Amino acid sequence: MRKRSTIAIALLALTASVGASRSAGLQDFAEIERGRYLANAADCASCHTVPGSNQPFAGGRPIETPFGNLVSPNITPDRDTGIGTWTDEEFDAAVRAGRQRGGARLYPAMPFPYYSRMSREDVKAIRAYLSTVPPVHNAVMSDALPFPFNLRSSMIVWDRLYFKPGEFHPDPSKSAEWNRGAYLVEGPAHCGACHTPKTLLGGDKKSDALRGYTLQGWVAPDITSGQGPLGNWSVDDIAEYLKTGHNKYAAAAGLMAEVVQLSTSNMTDEDVRAMAVYLKDIQGAASPGPGSVDQNVLTAGGAIFQDLCAACHRQDGQGIPNLFPRLSDAATVATPDPTTVLRVILQGTPTVATDREPTGPGMPAFGWQLDDEQVAAVATYVRNHFAHAPAVTAEQVHRMRATLAKTE
């Protein structure tokens, strides 16, 4: 009798502990999944993986900054060359406070000023997920910036000027959806890292948040709303672009194609929509207007457009939905800075691939066929005729060719 009850108690204890460890297991799994989702929204893989390699997070990708190139570190759980022996506190300090192990400052090429908006639990979940990826032995040499930026201590000044640490706080006067979108855009998804104008020292101009910036030879256009170029887009148009890489107004090329492919196309429809709702609510700046344009240049440009471009983009610039982007009122065409338009005309674009749209169409290059005057003329025509944007000079085309030659 006594024996049986002991066994019963022992059994009870056993099932209780099995139950506990199973629910701990489920909890871990949920945390890892949440971490995987956040790492994806934060696009950690894009910088910390060499494109085309099958060693995610192993580092070694050169990251262009206004001051020179850095190389991304290995953040796999490898114990010698990765972050396998880091504590959760050290990891949190790197991601949210921009500190290396040991306390030295990271360069803001690692977007910690944005990641600082995440909670401690968010970052712990990312860590939990990263602990599950295959460890890769890859010793990365970083630190290639020229003086004085090679001194990590010079970042103390930078941090003081531009880094406001602190988690995201929801705005109670806005909807839950708006707040979710604000959290994603300002936090993990770090949209402003490319879309917000920078000071000479590479800090965000907070007052111009998301109003457009040129980096690595690409224009990341103004993505505020109101009078801004996205003013015409509906919430659904923005969501569709983030989910698939295109909509009836535009198709994502270059850096944004990568953001869509690696990050936003894998986010839930609810999250993508929440970001769109938030962006729609940010008021934009007025556009600068066309200025004066030489009528002969417009005529020449119009003739080239008719010959070489209208087959795809149509004569009225409306394009063909989801195939050839509409040029009229497109943000890339309307921005004061013509960099993207010139780049696309000179170099063409690669095809975009996302999970949903494996083979988006690309655009052929015209740089070999047209000289600087002709490219300037057709770019001026497109910008003036379809978007009331300022003219482009042959000199600008010449400089753009030189920039592109350097990056090839």
Q: Which of residues 29-68 bind ligand HEC (CB under 6 A)?
A: 39, 42-44, 46-48, 63
As a three-state string, the secondary structure of 48-62 is HCCCCCCCCCCCCCE
Size of residue set near ligand HEC by CB under 6 A: 75
Tell me the one-letter amino acid at 264.
Answer: T
Helix (H, G, I), strand (E, B) or coil at 285: coil
Q: Per CB under 6 A, which region of 166-174, 197-205, 252-260, 400-408 contacts ligand HEC? A: 252-260
> Whose Cβ is closer to ligand HEC: residue 191's or residue 400's?
191
Structure tokens at 220: 């990341």
Stretch of residues binding ligand HEC (CB under 6 A), selected from 11-19, 21-29, 306-314, 391-399: 306-314
What is the number of other CB atoms lying within 10 angstroms of the CB of residue 76? 24
Strand partners for 251 = 246
Distance of CA 261 to the CA centre of its chain: 10
**Residue 74, Cβ neighbours under 10 Å: how many?**
24
The pair of structure tokens assigned to 29 is 């799994």
Instruction: For the segment 338-367, give every residue that binds ligand HEC (CB under 6 A).
Output: 340-341, 344-345, 349, 352, 361-364, 366
Under 8 Å between Cβ of 339 and 331: no
93 binds ligand HEC per the rule CB under 6 A: no
Strands 218-220, 213-215: parallel, antiparallel or unpaired by DSSP?
antiparallel
Taking the complex as a whole, the smallest distance from the CB of residue 16 to ligand HEC amounts, in Å, to 36
Looking only at residues 311 through 330 of this chain, which bind ligand HEC when binding is defined by CB under 6 A?
311-313, 324-325, 327, 330
State the minimum distance, in angstroms, from the CB of residue 12 to ligand HEC.
43
Cα–Cα distance measured from residue 272 to residue 238, given in angstroms and rounded to the nearest whole number: 9
In the complex, the smallest distance separating the C-beta of residue 161 from ligand HEC, rounded to whole angstroms, is 17
Q: Can you spell out the DSSP letters for 246-277? A: B-SS-B--HHHHHHHHHTGGGS-HHHHHHHHH
The 257-296 site mask, x for binding ligand HEC (CB under 6 A), equals --x----x----------x---------------------
Q: Cβ of residue 145: shortest distance to ligand HEC, in angstroms?
A: 9
Is-contact 394 301, C-beta < 8 A? no
User: Could you give the 3-state DSSP secondary structure of residue 320?
Assistant: strand
- By CB under 6 A, what part of segment 123-152 binds ligand HEC? 126, 142
In 141-229, where do the E strands start and end?
213-215, 218-220
d(CA 381, CA 363): 18
- Select 26 or 151, whichever has its Cβ closest to ligand HEC: 151
Provide the minimum distance between the beta carbon of 299 and ligand HEC in the complex, in angstroms, as a whole number: 15
> Which two three-digit tokens encode residue 337?
């800075």
Site for ligand HEC in 5-34 (CB under 6 A): none
Contacting ligand HEC within 161-180 (CB under 6 A): none
Stretch that binds ligand HEC, among 9-17, 29-37, 161-169, 308-316 (CB under 6 A): 308-316
Selected binder of ligand HEC within 189, 297, 300, 377 (CB under 6 A): 189
The only residue of 212, 217, 221, 317 in contact with ligand HEC, by rule CB under 6 A: 221
Q: Do 75 and 132 meet the contact criterion of CB atoms below 8 Å apart?
A: no
Specify the stretch interacting with ligand HEC by CB under 6 A; choose among 22-30, 169-177, 244-252, 288-296: 244-252
| Binding window for ligand HEC (CB under 6 A); candidates: 163-171, 237-245, 389-397, 399-407 | 237-245
376 in contact with ligand HEC (CB under 6 A): no
Instruction: Name residue, tokens 């402003």.
Output: 192
Q: Residue 225 CB, nearest distance to ligand HEC (Å)? A: 10
Q: Are 312 and 319 in contact (CB under 8 A)?
A: yes
Encode 148-165: b = buried (16+ Cβ within 10 Å), e = exposed: ebeeeeebeebbeebbee
